[in-house]
Amino acid sequence: MIAPMSQERRGCSAISFNGRIYVAGGHYKGGDYVTLRTVEAYDPNTDQWERLADLTIQRYPLEFEIHVIVSGQKPTLIVSDGKLMVLGGYSDFWDQERLSSVEEYDKENNTWKERREM
């Protein structure tokens, strides 16, 4: 059993990178579905989650599947050129507005910045 995240979530994306597990976006069902911008990183050596900077836009559902990159329907976390990135998805659980935006994580400044759209 591992330590719980600070934010309950479903429909999120997760990826293992540099010895940590990163989890981003998704939704929280607390009375109503709330789409999330939050990102957390798990360190298995300390069994602790660290809350990272929020994404610039909420994203749902985040699932790691190769076809999502092609279709743009579901966002995903990827590693490209040693950098953590999130691509596509929907902006809201209810509206289902498809996103074509890409964000890149800046570890040194703990920030996400927008990149060119897909």
Domain boundaries, the chain: 13-115
Q: pLDDT at position 53, please?
A: 97
Q: pLDDT at position 72, please?
A: 47
End-to-end CA distance of the chain: 38
Q: pLDDT at position 31, please?
A: 64
Contacts of 25 by beta carbon, 8 Å cutoff, 6+ apart? 9, 11, 12, 13, 35, 36, 37, 38, 39, 55, 58, 59, 60, 61, 62, 75, 86, 89
Of 61, 70, 56, which is closest to residue 23 (Cα–Cα)? 61
The pLDDT averaged over each successive group of 10 residues in the chain (118 residues) is 89 89 86 85 97 91 46 69 88 74 94 87
- Sheet order of strands, 20-24 included: 13-17, 20-24, 39-43, 48-52
Six token digits for residue 6: 């600070």
User: Could you tell me how many residues make up the chain?
Assistant: 118
Amino acid (one-letter) located at 8: E
* pTM exceeds 0.85 for this model: no
